[in-house]
Chain A
Amino acid sequence: MKRLNRRVAITLVLVAGLLTGMVFFCVQLFRNGNDWVGFFGTTYYESGAIYDSKGVKLYDGQTGEYAEDWSTRVSTLHLVGDRNFGTSLRSVLASRLTGYNPVTGTTLGSHDVTLTVDASLNATAYQALNGRKGVVAVYNYLTGDTKCLVSAPSYDPLNPPGDINENPAYEGAYLNRFFSSTYTPGSTFKIVTTAAAIEQKKDLDAFTFSCTGSYQIGPDTITCPYAHGQNMNIDQCLASSCNGAYAQLALELGGDTLEKYMETAGLMESLEICDIHTARGSFEAAPDGSSYLGWSGVGQYKDLVNPCTMLAFLGGIANRGVATVPQLVDKETLSGSAVPAAFPDGTETYKIYDEATCARLKEMLRNNVVNQYGQSQFGDLPVCAKSGTAEVGGDKQPHAWFVGFVDDVNTPLAFLVLVENGGSGASVAGSIAAQVLAQAAAN
């Protein structure tokens, strides 16, 4: 019997197994319960509503209804989303909309979420894109509040197009390009090259470049659209976006230096916004002395940036070297009331370049607007900007970029406009930016 009494430990082994399993499950539940609820959040659970910053209801979790206005529905689709969007707020905020917490689950009732986004601004931006694919984003670089976020193509969630999977016009419609895409930055990358030059080239103020329309690197040629002129200083080179000058700077700085400045700019990081992880940019240092290095210095070659990190980078320059991570949620309240249901999302920042470097960049970007793009289109807003025309190969039109910020503490807005295959950056994207900025500043 004594022998048998020891053998009964086998029962305890099974008990320990079940116990371990239960503990493991409880740990998992505590850590991932949020995601578990979120996964079916708006399907099975009572879910709150999503409002824009002005109180326009974008989505009602109780009834499953979207905004009444067509242009609001379409322009906020990628924000609000339906089940097809992995990065939509309905998906990533599901556990917050259902009011989940580990102790009471979803039993205390749903929460309403008010966004920082202004739906009317979105509508304007979407209309300005005028059917072209692209991204328009505006955010407050001091607080991180995102004011406008449009990704096109979009569609009406109440009436999804039947040919969405076949029609090339809807290619990538389920993608929020702002968070999930990376693009060739084109000339907007020259901001990074300039930053590297400011810090690494002590004699930058003495730098001059004469553009003949083409710049020879060994057997290869870096071309400019036309001869930009003689003896340009660095400000003029950036304003005219002279490829030759920047190719030469890139060769002088070297691939590793450029990569380091790309990294410091945060353009190779992935930001986390409401559990959405942005795509990472990338940079490949070409061999020193090669034309590839020259091209990578002007934002071509294998350079890729994500619109969201690019926007934060611009905000960082405006904010004296401290970039603020964009935010989407303004407040979370108990459904149907103004009672706060969660602490406000804290403002997250990260360091990019030195304050002095940013001040110099700001000066040069302001110079771009004043002397190149024309201040008139921005009214009296002190806009600092850089355009970009990113060649995408083949016989396709280049992507048009226009990025920048308003250097004014009363309207601390950074903006980013990207029109896929839009053509010339300054004219195409610039006009959209002007239109959206004007409305954003008016608010």
Chain B
Amino acid sequence: MQELWTRLQLIFTQLFDQVRAAVAAETEHVVLTVLDTVLPVACGVLRVLAVIVALLILVRCVLSLVREKTGKEIWGWLAMNDGTQFDLRHWENTVGRGGFSDVVLDFPTVSRSHLALLRDDKGNWRLQPLQTKNGTRVNGKAVEHTVPIKSGDIIDLGGMPLEFYAISDQEEREQAMRLGVAERPLSPARTLGYLTVFQIMMAVQCLPGREGQDLIMIASSFGILLIAMWAMYALYRTLKRTAFEPETIAFFLCTISFSITAAYSPESLLVQTISMLLGMIFFLLLSVLLRDLQATVSMRWAVAVLTCLLLIFNVVLGEAVFGAKNWIDLGFISFQPSEFVKVAFIFTGAATLDRLFARRNLIFTILFCGFCMGCLALMSDFGTALIFFVALLVIAFLRSGDVGFLALMGTAAVAGGWMILQFKPYILNRFMAWRHVWEYSTEAGGYQQTRTMSAIASGGLFGKGTEESFLKNIGAANTDLVFGVISEEFGLILALLTVSCILILAIYAVRCAANARSSYYVIAANSAAAMLVFQASLNVLGAVDILPLTGVTLPFVSMGGSSMISCWGLLAFLKAADTRPNASFSLKLPKRIRGWVPPDPEGIYDGWDEDFDDYYDDEYFDDYDQGYAYDDPYQYNEFEGYDQPDFTQQWTPPQPGPEDPYATRHWKQGEGGIDDWQSLADQRPMEDTIRPADFGEGRENR
């Protein structure tokens, strides 16, 4: 046996030696040949697969965003004396006769916009009268300025009494739970898994033709990207946040950015990686700040002043790079302040509802924007100035709703633009070639665009790989012409998907508006989205000669540290408007109540599969499973006794019956309320009170 074993060993050793010798002689040649023939084919296959995976990722993100089923948060009610209830669906609600009010009271004595009911993030409510003509009373006392209100207060709008109820902590929690189950996003982990596959595919495609240092740089940057992504997700999970779609899209765009940077100059990946990490930190910090609306609003002035100082500093000390004097070099680091000013501008430009009714509040924003644009013009950064202008238009429109004002601003801008062209005719030359670039293919006006368009066409739908491309050798390819580089190297489909990412983010912002808590979040999210979309339009359509080439970056994708960080900042505004429960890091979870049990009358938690495993892990379920929640009679009874609509079903309000149009409901409410609505109803003369026709079918408010 031993002998046999020794022999076998000997045979194998000899065989191995022979093979090794044969291979050693041929190794270099064979490996090179294999690499030369296999690698291009493999990369070609990878490019097609990468497009499919990218499509999958984005479809999952979109599906997850549109899966919303119910999605209406309720923060309080206004009850009429016949039992009719109006939901307060936002933190900021207007009450009035006009159809645009959040609570529509169609009575002649109610003004079109009568008053606003405002909630802060601690749950305190205020009432702000928006007119003086028809009078507002709280518990019988006339009110002319903003006053705090609480559950049970009777609000009288021009003789129309309404009882106000705020949602309790417990109800808030129940609501979060209910919506959380109904609107669970598609498993973000799975989407991130696909994104990881995508990242690896892209990284591999960047490797051919690279050596030594570059290989390490590419591998480590993509590695850091991957780890950072999963670390952020882990952080979200720890904090019980489940929605990750905007972040997934941002990471997707970062992946594209890394890929083209790797193809262009791997050494620049270091900057790109560091700025992405800084951007993520900036995003998280800004998100935390945005949780506290009062703190945010109170910081607006400070941010505005700091921004102005930064811009003045930049105008004085800025350095010219590619014509625009918009860089500050601090020796160890250089950055573009104008990118950060974008974030600051939205931070200061958005406003809460109580400030929307005074025109003078807008003037500050206009002046601030005017100052920013002036500084940018001094720095010859007209592309960014244009973005600011569009952001201003969006903010102004969101705040005032005044189309005439937009037209006025537009006219002023055209006049201003004409003036600039008069004084600086060389700018006009840049627009001479617009829509005629092929006639200027050898001159500055059309040099970049013609090559971009040619390169896009040559890449086809799936691109020609990182090695073959020529566009990367053209000036500003990795910033201004980035759409062309993606198309040429990775194909038109991936380039279009990249642009659709920005569109998805914008539509996400629009959708969030419907359920947003405060107008601050709506304005911030939408102006940030508008900024991203407009900037993407200038970049992409500028590179292909549909718009003039202005030299702005493609958000998240173009090479540039400052741009990357500011884009993550803008993303925080988008994310803050997302009111899906447990979605946003920017939203605080409802206060926890010990021993509280999620109601589950229909067994909706039964049978959730592993896709929803985090709810099994959840403490809610721990409490529920152990059953001791029911041992707390006080909480339980309070819940039972609380006469509120059943959140788990579509609640239909009690309709006035034909035999008793002023049906009475008894509210067992705490102090400050009234115990018996019947008494109030009885006091009213018949003709003033309710017109049942007003509450027929089809009324928007119940």
List A residues at the B interface (Cβ < 8 Å): 1-12, 14-15, 17-19, 21-22, 24-26, 28-29, 32-34, 36-37, 39-40, 44-45, 98, 100-107
Contacts and interface: CB of A to CB of B under 8 A. Distances in A.
B307 to A, nearest CB: 23
Interface in B399-417: 401
Contact of A37 (B394, B441, B458, B506): B458
Main secondary structure on chain B at its contact with chain A?
helix
Contacts of B546: 21, 24-25
B521 to A, nearest CB: 10
A6 B461 contact: no
Contacts, number: 156
B510 A11 contact: yes
Given A9-B510, A106-B460, A107-B462, 18 more contacts: A1-B102, A1-B522, A4-B398, A8-B510, A11-B526, A14-B394, A15-B510, A15-B533, A21-B547, A22-B540, A32-B457, A44-B451, A45-B458, A100-B457, A103-B461, A104-B462, A105-B464, A107-B465
B134 interface: no
Contacts of A7: 397-398, 401
Contacts of B102: 1-2
Contacts of B492: 26, 29
B459 A1 contact: no
B454 A36 contact: yes
B313 interface: no
Main secondary structure on chain A at its contact with chain B?
helix
A37 B453 CA distance: 8
A25 B544 contact: yes
Contacts of B454: 36-37, 39-40, 44
Contacts of A28: 544
A302 to B, nearest CB: 32
Which 8 A-B pairs give the minimum distances between C-beta atoms? A105-B460, A33-B457, A104-B460, A3-B100, A36-B457, A106-B458, A8-B513, A21-B541
B205 to A, nearest CB: 13
Interface string B460-480: 111111001010000000000
Interface string B524-559: 001001100110110011001011000000000000
B377 interface: no
B523 interface: yes
Nearest to B98: A3
Q: How large is the interface on B (under 10, 10 to 19, 20 to 34, 35 or more residues)?
A: 35 or more
- Scoring A9, A22, A32, A34 by chain B CB atoms within 10 A of each residue's CB, the highest score goes to A22
B441 A39 contact: yes
Nearest to A44: B470
Contacts of B530: 10-11, 14
A1 B506 contact: no
Contact of A1 (B463, B468, B503, B519): B519
Interface in B642-656: none
B462 to A, nearest CB: 7
B37 to A, nearest CB: 14
A293 to B, nearest CB: 42
Nearest to A108: B460
Nearest to A101: B460
B537 A21 contact: yes
B452 to A, nearest CB: 9
B544 A5 contact: no
Contact of B507 (A15, A22, A45, A100): A15
Nearest to A15: B506
A45 B455 CA distance: 9
B101 interface: yes
B339 to A, nearest CB: 20
A102 B530 CA distance: 32
A106 B516 CA distance: 49
A104 B496 CA distance: 16
A334 to B, nearest CB: 16
Nearest to B47: A107
Contacts of B513: 4-5, 8
9 contacts: A1-B89, A4-B356, A4-B398, A10-B394, A11-B533, A18-B541, A19-B503, A102-B460, A102-B461
A8 B458 contact: no
Contacts of B455: 44
A330 B633 CA distance: 94
A29 B455 CA distance: 11
B502 to A, nearest CB: 7
Contacts of B390: 14
B162 interface: no
A104 B522 contact: no
B537 A14 contact: yes
Contacts of A6: 100
B92 interface: yes
Contacts of B541: 18, 21-22, 25
B227 to A, nearest CB: 33
A43 B533 CA distance: 35
B206 interface: no
B413 to A, nearest CB: 16
Given A15-B533, A37-B457, A8 B398 contact: yes
Nearest to B40: A107
Contact of A14 (B89, B533, B547): B533
Contact of A2 (B100, B441, B510): B100
A182 to B, nearest CB: 25
A3 B99 CA distance: 9
Contacts of A105: 457-461, 463-464
A18 B537 contact: yes
Contact of B502 (A18, A33, A102): A18
Contact of A18 (B90, B401, B451, B499): B499
A334 B580 CA distance: 56
A110 to B, nearest CB: 11
B509 interface: yes
A107 B459 contact: yes
A379 to B, nearest CB: 50
